[in-house]
Amino acid sequence: MQLKCVSMLKHLRGQGRHIKPASAVFTSRFSSTASNPNIVSHELLEGTSNEAPILLAHGVLGNRRNFNILAKKLAKETQRSIITYDARNHGNSFHSDIMGLEDLSKDAINLLDELKVEKCVFIGHSMGGRTALYTALSYPNRIEKLISVDSSPGAINGSNFTERGSILSYVEAMQNVNWDSANTLSRARNTADEQLTNAVPNLSVRQFILTNVEESSPSNYKWRVNLDAIQRHLQCTHQIFDKNNSKTFDGKTLFLGGGLSNYIRYEDYPNIRRLFPNCNITHIPDSGHWVHSEKPKEFLSAVTSFLGPEEINLF
């Protein structure tokens, strides 16, 4: 006999039980930007469930606001607490010349410690996905479940794996933007838009990048993100994912790629399954790299299904 029952599963595991209330999905919001300079800027939707919170990690050039809509929908669907944060060198978080995966991972762990979260469901996109993968391999006791969104550890000989696609070329183009003729924030964004057109032909991607333009002082403009540190990060190798690494994460894992993207490739599958033996790999059709924004309904369905009740054999 098989039953789909989250509360019974939790009870059998000694985790306590949760009865889904009909009232509010989350009870409060908490935001932090600079109260602790060593903690990344973050926001919490405090849910009513006692299940592990969901930690959302954005990709390169993004910030926690990329997940505003998704966070609210996940809170409504799961009633879990939802944590979003700005990675170092992004959004309102601190800048640092050091930006290895181990640093990004430690930032996530420090944030969990700050919020007194013992375990989380870690969902990361692109750079955030690699951060989640690294964290799961390095701190497996802190991760209940793992979702890597259009991000892969690379092939089994992937010690030289670096950023796929055009994001590195976008960063290089951003470094060459000249704002000398701009005297308003609107004009600064238009100026950057014009100068990025050749390197970033996709209008929606360009608009996403332009959210990083800010006024540093009257009539002076700059990128909010630390481009030099990000460029070095995109060019670095990640040895924790190569064939010489014996660490594995045995928790339930989902690799969720875009059907039109090349970030999770067939040749990566053996290495993915070696490092994450309890994984599923799937792609959302007709979606590019930004799966959660290009196909939000399909993405939400895939995530909630993955996090949903498990089949347990009672007899």
Active-site residue list:
126, 228, 289
DSSP 61: T
DSSP per-residue string spanning 104-152: HHHHHHHHHHHTT-S-EEEEEETHHHHHHHHHHHH-GGGEEEEEEES--
Which residues have C-beta within 8 Å of that of residue 270, sequence separation ≥ 6? 155, 156
Instruction: Give the integer Cα–Cα distance in Å for 105 and 312.
Output: 32
Instruction: Give the integer Cα–Cα distance in Å for 112 and 125.
Output: 18
Structure tokens at 241: 């994912």
Instruction: Give the integer Cα–Cα distance in Å for 225 and 211.
Output: 10
Answer whether 162's CB lies under 8 Å from 234's CB: yes
The radius of gyration computed from the CA coordinates of the chain, to the nearest angstrom, equals: 20
